[in-house]
């Protein structure tokens, strides 16, 4: 049968609506009409629906106040749908359990929405709500917020609690060094392990997590080096979980800072025993007693003041007080002896504290062995990643045959890059290995958000490339923590290694900026970058990257519109009234009245309407401004019927740039 459905030329439709192509296509697509930017004709019925929708939007826009936008109505959803509690953050697996749906169904819906995610990756509340509604549920904010590695914590606890206490032996204490960004944590570790890391680090700030071992009085101590900048709070919290003890570094010349208090709260929450190292005692303005007073104010009473907080004054620069600090650490370790034991003969269990891709070696990870002994040839499961240990090296690049409890070791042989915080366990179950390998190939996608995903906020879209997973994860988390009602950062993709040509193509399609951290460009990317409009920004210091992102977000903010009263007019006569404007006469009784000024209409002291002055006349001549005491005629755009005696209060309008407060 022939198709007799009438169609209208798109150009004719655009002409009728008095629009341009540049205005038309984005608008109709935003209103939900599936019309491509190259469409030539549309069905007459569709054309009528488009006209109706655009006119409705225009009518609503006219109702909006000149002095501020109206609130957007909330989306209507099925009131009979089942309501589920969703925290601010939860894993895909936990989300599927809340929905009582197979995780494969949830991943399928995520993919339809342009989101590729593994079962252990995080969903925020807004994303979970969209997916839940697609599956017929309603959501409300509630429940305990999960971190991405909550399941890992449970797994670790289960594995370690399963040990036979009679087989446990003492192991080296694992110590994490924490504190404010420039109070000397890295220098203190340099002094302890007799190496120089600080001089090679950009900006004097530790950029990666490492783990090292030192020996004092014949006993080993394992140190975890955590970054000091506040951007790495996620890394610091991991350090607190894998550590037995902590050193809180406070500079004697600077005292306790807000970040110091944050670290104290973190350690207390983790119930992590700690020693306070008051560093930089060699400085002229060092004041140890002032630091002790500040600690006391936080209910951390020093031992010599009758409390329980151990204080160790040190100078990392002059290597003073280091032996005493290490002795205090071992003393606290002896007190906590029952908690610092493990069975060295069981199958190894550990936590990944760093991972990256090496061009020649492939996936490389650093694991802190927490129980058992890891050996070359062991078959391991690490989150969704599987592998067989091909090589073990210690923190000093020395080859190892095995890694007993409390040993940090770099491992080769994994099939993929594990996530920092994942639990490594040695497996002797070949069936489980085959199943896990199958799951790995099925679900091991990078978390990529489609460039077609929409948001009510203005977005700074970012493609992130970093040299290590720890840095990538911390940067992405820090970027997404920049919260604002109108703008946000959307990390479209985060990967390891150098920036590639594919990254530039994806960024161009998504309108994204590429951030590289401690990475370069491949030859293909270097060539493509010369002809592409994509911005590629590379950094070696985290907070400089974050500052750039904040500046870009500020540019996305609509300017603040400031209204200032400039004059007042008394209405004396009505000359003409039309649907959308009126011509009236009046006298300026205060200030001045300007052309194109927004106006509020008052009657008997109450506001009854508003409008816009579009023309001013005096003695039949158009003018720009009328001063106090003069009479004039005005053309006034308004839907409010005016009356003689009304007061028109005119305002100036100024756009001011806004800053991002985070």
- Residue 280: per-residue pLDDT: 93
- Residue 238 buriedness (CB in 10 A; 0-12 / 13-18 / 19+): buried
Q: How far apart are CA 369 and CA 400, in angstroms?
A: 13
Which of 396, 244, 406 minimizes the C-alpha distance to 330? Answer: 244
Half-sphere exposure of 505 toward its Cβ, with a 13 Å CA cutoff?
6
pLDDT in the model for residue 335: 92
Give the pLDDT of residue 398: 86
Separation between Cα atoms, residue 226 and residue 198, nearest integer Å: 13
Would you call 173 exposed, middle or buried from its count of C-beta atoms within 10 A (0-12, 13-18, 19+)?
buried
Q: Say how far apart CA 325 and CA 192 lie, in whole Å.
A: 10
**CA-only gyration radius of the chain, Å:** 33
CA triple 152-157-158, angle to 5 deg: 95
The pLDDT tens digits for 80-139 are 567 888 887 788 888 888 888 887 778 777 766 556 566 767 777 767 877 887 787 878
Rounded distance, CA 297 to CA 529, Å? 55
Tally of CA atoms within 13 A in the half-sphere of 620 that contains its CB: 0
Conformational region of residue 640, where left means phi above 0, alpha means psi within -120 to 50, and beta covers everything else = beta
Confirm if 41 and 10 have CB atoms less than 8 A apart. yes
pLDDT per 10-residue tile (average), the chain, 662 residues? 57 79 76 73 76 70 59 41 77 83 77 62 74 79 50 67 80 88 81 57 48 86 65 46 87 89 83 92 92 93 92 92 93 91 92 77 87 92 84 87 93 82 80 57 39 56 86 83 81 86 82 91 86 90 89 84 90 87 93 92 90 90 92 90 92 82 54
* Structure confidence at residue 66 (pLDDT): 65
Cα distances (angstroms) measured from residue 436 to each of 380, 441, 580 = 11, 9, 69
State the Cα–Cα distance between residues 641 and 60, nearest whole angstrom. 19
Cβ–Cβ < 8 Å for 241, 270: yes
- pLDDT tens figures, 147-157: 444 456 666 77
Q: What pLDDT does residue 644 have?
A: 93
Full-prediction pTM beyond 0.75? Answer: no
């Amino acid at each position: 049968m022939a198709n007799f459905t009438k169609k209208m030329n798109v150009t004719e439709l655009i002409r009728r609506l008095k629009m341009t192509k540049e205005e038309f296509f984005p608008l109709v697509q935003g209103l939900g009409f599936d019309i491509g930017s190259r469409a030539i004709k549309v069905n007459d019925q569709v054309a009528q629906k488009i006209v109706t929708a655009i006119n409705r939007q225009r009518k609503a826009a006219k109702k909006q106040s000149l002095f501020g936008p109206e609130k957007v109505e909330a989306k209507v959803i099925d009131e009979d749908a089942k309501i589920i509690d969703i925290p601010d953050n939860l894993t895909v697996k936990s989300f599927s359990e809340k929905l009582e749906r197979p995780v494969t169904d949830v991943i399928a819906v995520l993919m339809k929405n342009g989101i590729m995610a593994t079962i252990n990756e995080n969903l925020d509340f807004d994303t979970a709500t969209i997916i839940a509604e697609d599956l017929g549920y309603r959501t409300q904010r509630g429940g305990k917020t999960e971190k991405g590695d909550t399941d890992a914590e449970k797994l670790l606890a289960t594995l370690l609690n399963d040990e036979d206490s009679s087989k446990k032996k003492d192991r080296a204490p694992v110590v994490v060094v924490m504190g404010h960004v420039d109070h000397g944590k890295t220098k203190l570790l340099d002094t302890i392990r007799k190496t120089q890391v600080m001089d090679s680090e950009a900006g004097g700030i530790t950029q990666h997590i490492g783990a090292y071992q030192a020996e004092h009085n014949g006993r080993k101590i394992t140190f975890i080096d955590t970054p000091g900048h506040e951007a790495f709070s996620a890394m610091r919290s991991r350090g607190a979980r894998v550590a037995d003890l902590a050193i809180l570094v406070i500079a004697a010349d600077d005292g306790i800072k807000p970040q110091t208090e944050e670290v104290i709260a973190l350690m207390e929450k983790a119930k992590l025993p700690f020693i306070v190292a008051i560093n930089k005692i060699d400085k002229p303005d060092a004041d140890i007693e002032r630091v002790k007073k500040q600690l006391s104010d936080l209910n951390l009473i020093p031992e010599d003041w009758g409390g329980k907080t151990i204080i160790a004054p040190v100078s990392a620069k002059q290597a003073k007080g280091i032996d005493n600090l290490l002795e205090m650490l071992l003393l606290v370790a002896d007190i906590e002896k029952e908690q610092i034991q493990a069975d060295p003969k069981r199958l190894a269990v550990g936590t990944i504290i760093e991972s990256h891709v090496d061009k020649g070696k492939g996936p490389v990870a650093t694991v802190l062995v927490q129980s058992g002994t890891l050996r070359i040839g062991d078959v391991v499961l690490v989150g969704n990643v599987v592998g067989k240990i091909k090589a073990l090296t210690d923190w000093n690049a020395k080859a190892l045959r095995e890694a007993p409890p409390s040993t940090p070791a770099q491992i080769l042989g994994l099939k993929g890059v594990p996530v920092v915080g994942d639990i490594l366990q040695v497996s002797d179950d070949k069936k489980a290995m085959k199943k896990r390998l199958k799951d790995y190939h099925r679900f091991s996608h990078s978390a990529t958000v489609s460039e077609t995903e929409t948001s009510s906020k203005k977005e700074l879209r970012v493609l992130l490339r970093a040299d290590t997973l720890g840095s990538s994860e911390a940067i992405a988390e820090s970027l997404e923590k920049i919260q604002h009602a109108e703008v946000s950062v959307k990390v479209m993709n985060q990967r390891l290694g150098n920036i590639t040509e594919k990254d530039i193509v994806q960024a161009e399609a998504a309108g994204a900026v590429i951030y590289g951290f401690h990475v370069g460009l491949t030859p293909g990317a270097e060539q493509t970058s010369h002809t592409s409009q994509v911005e590629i920004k590379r950094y070696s210091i985290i907070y400089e990257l974050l500052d750039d992102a904040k500046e870009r977000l500020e540019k996305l903010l609509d300017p603040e519109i400031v209204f200032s009263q400039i004059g007042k007019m008394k209405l004396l006569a009505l000359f003409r009234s039309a649907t959308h404007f009126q011509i009236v006469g009046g006298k300026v009784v205060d200030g001045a009245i300007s052309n194109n000024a927004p106006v509020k209409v008052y009657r008997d002291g109450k506001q009854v309407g508003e409008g816009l002055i579009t023309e001013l006349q005096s003695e039949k001549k158009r003018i720009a401004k009328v001063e106090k005491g003069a009479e004039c005629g005005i053309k006034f755009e308004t839907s409010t019927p005016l009356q003689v005696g009304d007061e028109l209060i005119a305002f100036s309008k100024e756009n001011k740039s806004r800053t991002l407060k985070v």
